[in-house]
Chains A and B, each alone.
Chain A
Amino acid sequence: MFFGLSEEQEQFQDYVKKFLTDNVTVDEIRKIANGEDQALQQEVYSGLINLGINALLVPEEHGGLGADLLSAVAVAQGLGSGVGPIPFAGAYVMAPIALNLAGSEEQQKKYLPEIVSNQTKFGVGLSEYVAAREDAGIDLANGKANGKALFVIDGDQADYFLLANKGGVMFLVDANDKGLEKIKLTSVDKTRSYLELTLKNVAAEVLPNSENDPELAKKVLDAGRIIFAADSLGASETMIEKAVSYAKERKQFNRVIGSFQAVKHMCAEMASDLEPCYAMLWQAAHSFDHAPDEARLQACQAKSHISEVAKMISKKATEVHGGMGFTDLLGLHYWFKRIGLNRQLLGGPELIREEAAEIQGFNQ
C-alpha cells in the first residue's frame, strides 16, 4: 500500500517547478501577463512542452506516455505553484481524455499523435454544459453548430475547439472555420487566455461515443475540475511559502513579524487547512482511473473544497504581506487571481456541491 505521488510523478513535478522558478520570475510573469513579450511566452511554452506535459495523457499506442490522471495532477500542482502561463487543463488533459473516451478510432489516430507533437492545439469550452450564463449555449443539428460559447480555455493558439451541447454531446470545430468568431475576454488572471466563441453554421465533428453516453462529457468535466483543483493547490502552497518566508524577514516593533502569534496563527491555519487537500486531490485523481464508483463524488468535492481552502489562503497570505501584498510590485496577486479563476471554472463551489448532492441522490 502506498498513498501518494510516485517517485516518478514527484520528479516530473519537480522538473516543472524548477523550470518555472528558473525561467519565469515575477518580472517575466508580468511581461507575459501584460502581453509585452510574446517571444518569452513562446519560449516558456516550448520549454514545458519539451518536458512532455502535452504527451502525458495520450495512450502509448498513439505515441504518448499513457500516464494516468494522477500524473497530470502532479504536473498541474507544479504549474499552479509557479503560475505557469501556458495552456494545460483544456489542451492537454480534457482534450486527449475526450478523444480517448468519445472519439472514433479514426479521430484518435488523427488527433492524438498531433497532441504529442503539439502540431494541433485544442481549446476547450464546456462552460455552457455546466452552467450557461448570458443565454450562451450551442445547438447542434445536421453536423452544424450554432450559438455562443463563453469562457473557452486554452484557446489562444488553438487549431480546434472541443465544445459540447447541453446534452453532453461533444464535438470539434476548426478554429479557421468561416462561421467562427473569436472574441478575447479579459479576466483578472492574465496568466491564461479566455475566449468567447460565436458560431454560425460551423461544421461540427462529433465525437461519436458521446452521442449515446452523456456520462462521457461528465468524465471529461471531472478531469478538468480535478486539474483546476490541483492548480489551486499548487498556487496555495506557494502563497503559504511566500507568506512564511516574508514573515521571517520583515521586522516591526524590533521583531520579525513571524514571531507574533497573530501572524503565526494565520500561517498555521493556512497550512493545516491545505494539508489534507493533498490526499483528497490525489485520491480523486486515483479514483478517476481506478475506482469509477467513487470518482464523480470525489472529483466534485475535491474541486469545491480545495477552491474554498485556496480562497482563504489567497486572502490570508496576502494579509501576512501587509501593504506589500497589495502591490503589483510583489506580484503576489498573480497567485491570488489564478486561484480566483480556477474557483469559477467548470462550476463554482456552490454549483458543484449541488452536483455532489445530486450524485448521492440527496436532492429529490
Chain B
Amino acid sequence: MDLNYGAEYEEFRQDVQAFCKEYQGVSFKSESTDNQMHDALSGSSTTEKTAKEVTRSEWQKILIEKGFIARAIPKEYGGYGGETDIIKSRIIATEFSKAKIPGGMGGQGIDMLVPTLLEWGSEEQKQKYIRPTLHGEMIWCQGYSEPNAGSDLASLQTKGELIDGNWVINGQKIWTSTAQYSQMMFCLVRTEPEAPKHSGISFILIPMDTPGIEIRPLVDMTLKAGFNEVFFDDVTVPEENIVAKRGEGWSVANSVLGHERGSLADPNATMNRLNTLINMMKEQTIDGRRLIDIPSYRDRLMQVQGKVMASQAHSLRLLSSKINPGQNVKLGGMIQKLVGTELRHELEGLAIDVLGEIGTLYEDSPYLKEDGSFQFTYMYFLGLIIGGGTNQIQKNIISERGLGMPKEPKITEAS
C-alpha cells in the first residue's frame, strides 16, 4: 500500500490548486436555466456567486488550454494534445471538487461521441466534429433507445436505406435527453434488415435541423430534466455521415457504453453531497433540537457515511489497478453503476426523510432547503437507476461476466 503519488504529481496538484484559487467562485453567464440543477448533480455549490462570469464555452477553452480536460485528445482536433494520465485526472477532479469549481462539460457529445470518433471516425469526421463539440458549441444527443428496444437495445427498428448516395431514415427514438438543444444526433439505425440483429445496425450522424425530424418533449417525474421522443419521417443525410462500416454500429456503440456506466456515479460528487447533508443536519431543527442530535437520524447518516467511505476507497483501488498493470480488481469496475446510483439515491432520500414535511417542498416554495436539490436529485437518480442499462441489467452483467453464471436460456418462440 502506497498512497503517495510522488513529487511530480504533488507539484501538479499545487498547479491545480493555484488555478482553483484564481477561479474561486467562477460562475456561468445564464445561458441555461438548468445550471442550478446541474450543480446539485455534480455536487458543486451555487451559493457563492462572485463577479467572475464566463460562458460554458469560454470555460471549456480555458480548461482545455490548461490540459485539465480533453487531455489526451490531439491538438489538431481541438484537444490539449497530451498523454492520458489517470492520476492527473484524479487530482483535477478532487481539487475542483474541494474548491467547488465547475469541471468541464459532460454530455453525450463529449463523453460518448468524441471517444467514439477517435476510435472509429474517418479523418474528415474527426476534423469536422471534435473541436466544436469540445468547445461546447456543438451539442449532441444520443439516438439509441426505441419504444420497443429498451434493455434489448439490439432489437431496434428505426430503418435506414441508402438511396442515391443518401441515408433515408424512418422510425422513432425515445428517452432522448437534450434533443431540443442539440445540433446533432448520433443514431443507431437498422440498415441491413436481412442480417442477424446485432450485425444489421449502423452508426449514423444526423443534423437535428434536417427536415422530417419532429421532437416531442417527454417530461420526466422531476418536471425539470426533460427527455424527448424523436420521430423520423424520410430524414435524409449524406452517405458519408456513417461512422465505421455498414453493420458495425453495434460494435461502435458498445465500445463507449462502458464509459457512460462508469461516469454515472462520481464518488467526489457523492462525498460533497454527504457533506451538504451533514451541514444541513447540524443547522435544521425539530422542536429546537438539531437533526443530527436525533439518534435514529444520526444512525442512518452514519450508515450512509460508511457506504460513501467504502465507495471512495474503492475508487482509489480502481485507480491503482489502472496504473499498476497486473493488479486484479475482478468485479471492481463492473459494479460502479449499480452501487453508485443506488447509494446516491439512498443519500438524497435520507436528506428528505430527516427534513420530513420540509423535504417534500419543491420548485420555488418557501422553506425550501438547498434549492430543492434533495428532492430533484432523489428522483433524478431513480432515473439513472433505470437508465444507462437498468440496475437489473447490471446485475445480469455482474453475475454473467463477473461471476461466470449462465445466461437465461433463450425462449425458442416468444408469444
Contact = CB atoms under 8 A, between A and B. Distances in A.
B399 interface: yes
Interface in A274-311: 275-280, 282-283, 286, 290, 298, 301, 304-305, 308
A265 B309 contact: no
A294 to B, nearest CB: 10
A350 interface: yes
Nearest to B305: A301
A305 B317 CA distance: 18
B221 to A, nearest CB: 25
Interface in B1-32: 1-6
A269 interface: yes
Give the interface size class of chain A: 35 or more
Contacts of A301: 302, 305-306, 309-310
B405 A353 contact: no
A280 B310 contact: yes
A329 interface: no
B320 A1 contact: yes
Interface in A339-364: 350, 353-354, 356-357, 362-364
B395 interface: yes
B310 A272 contact: no
B405 A356 contact: no
A261 B301 CA distance: 32
Contact of B331 (A260, A271, A362): A271
A14 to B, nearest CB: 13
Contact of B330 (A247, A275, A354, A356): A275
Nearest to A1: B5
A362 to B, nearest CB: 5
A275 B314 contact: yes
Interface stretch (B203-211, B237-245, B332-340): B332-340
Contacts of A357: 292, 298, 301-302
A357 B306 CA distance: 11
A261 B399 CA distance: 9
B363 interface: no
Contact of B406 (A4, A259, A276, A356): A259
B125 interface: no
Contact of A247 (B298, B314, B323, B405): B405
Contact of A259 (B292, B293, B407): B407
B292 A363 contact: yes
Interface string B208-242: 00000000000000000000000000000000000
B395 A265 contact: yes
A272 B405 contact: no
Give the interface size class of chain B: 35 or more
Given A255-B409, A259-B409, A301-B305, A268 B402 contact: yes
Contact of A283 (B5, B6, B303, B316): B316
A271 B406 contact: no
Contact of A279 (B2, B305, B317, B407): B317
A273 B335 CA distance: 9
Nearest to B328: A4
Nearest to B86: A1
Interface string A242-280: 001001100000011011110111011101110111111
Which residue of A248, A265, A268 has the most chain B CB atoms within 10 A of its CB atom?
A268
A237 B223 CA distance: 43
Nearest to B397: A268
Interface of B: 1-6, 87, 278, 282, 292-293, 295, 298-299, 301-303, 305-307, 309-311, 313-314, 316-317, 319-321, 323-324, 327, 330-332, 334-335, 338-339, 392, 394-396, 398-400, 402-409
Given A259-B408, A268-B402, 15 more contacts: A1-B319, A2-B2, A3-B2, A260-B408, A263-B405, A268-B396, A268-B403, A275-B335, A279-B310, A298-B309, A304-B306, A305-B303, A305-B310, A353-B302, A354-B302
Complex A-B, nearest 3 residue pairs according to Cβ-Cβ distance, in ascending order: A305-B306, A3-B320, A279-B313
Interface of A: 1-6, 70, 244, 247-248, 255-256, 258-261, 263-265, 267-269, 271-273, 275-280, 282-283, 286, 290, 298, 301, 304-305, 308, 350, 353-354, 356-357, 362-364
